[in-house]
Amino acid sequence: MITIVDYGLGNIQAFVNVYRRLHIPVAVAKCAAELEAASKIILPGVGAFDHAIERLDASGMRPVLDNLVVESKIPVLGICVGMQILSDSSEEGSLPGLGWVPGKVRSFKAVPELSDLPLPHMGWNDVSPSLNNSLFKGFEEEARFYFLHSYFFECLNSEHIAASSNYGLDFSCAVRADNVYGVQFHPEKSHHFGVGLLKNFAEL
């Protein structure tokens, strides 16, 4: 069962609608008990890093998520801020992240040569997946997704970069560490590209 974590952030219904159209079983978890049937987990998010961590802590689901992802190795897909909180830390806040993918979240404005870059990075952009990346199966020739963000994930280990995009510099727009996946863009707003990616995640 694909289970979407509802901790008050992100367009939960948009993901439910995609999977229902694909006839793939999907559930929404608002408490720890509702995570028990999960075979795959989607962790959406919008807004600020610290606020997302605080909301996840307040939901009571974080210890169960840690156990499912770290101990039981259930696949998880973090989206937008849901991807950013997979990291160790963020320049946007002071709270530690989940630490599931080693790295930190940086501001585009913190890069000196990008200080004049319009923010947020908003709209469609090309995405270049790494080789043999099952999350992007079928997108070998073309991959375009919808972005809305001012921060980017800087992986500690380049092997964890699952895809990159360019906005003033090449940045990792998707990450993967073992069973943990994350995408900075919004698949639920990315038409057939996003539907294909969410289907690929279901079929991992």
Give the pLDDT of the chain (204 residues) as one tens digit per residue.
999 999 999 889 999 999 999 999 999 999 999 998 999 999 999 999 999 999 999 999 999 999 999 999 999 999 999 999 999 999 999 999 999 999 999 999 888 887 788 999 999 999 999 877 899 999 877 899 999 999 999 999 999 999 999 999 999 999 999 999 999 999 999 999 999 999 999 999
Q: Which of 36, 71, 80, 92 is catalytic?
A: 80
| Domains: count for the chain | 1
Range of the domain at 186: 2-202
Residues 91, 105 contacting (CB under 8 angstroms): yes
Beta strands in 25-139 (DSSP E): 26-29, 40-43, 76-79, 89-90, 103-107, 121-126, 128-129
Asked about 80 being catalytic, the answer comes back as yes
Residues 55, 8 contacting (CB under 8 angstroms): yes
Residues 199, 24 contacting (CB under 8 angstroms): yes
Q: Which of 23, 188, 192, 203 is catalytic?
A: 188
Q: How far is CA 165 from CA 33, 78, 175, 189, in A?
A: 37, 17, 12, 17
Alpha helical stretches, state H, the chain? 12-21, 49-59, 62-66, 81-84, 191-202
Please give the pLDDT value at position 142. Answer: 86
Which CATH number covers residue 142?
Answer: 3.40.50.880
Strands 151-155 and 128-129: unpaired
State the Rg of the chain over Cα: 16
Alpha helical stretches, state H, 40-145? 49-59, 62-66, 81-84
Q: Nearest Cα to 182, choosing from 65, 58, 73, 41? A: 41
Say how far apart CA 47 and CA 63 lie, in whole Å: 22
Q: How far is CA 17 from CA 25, 72, 98, 143, in A?
A: 11, 27, 28, 22
Asked about 186 being catalytic, the answer comes back as yes
Q: Which of 121, 149, 160, 186 is catalytic?
A: 186
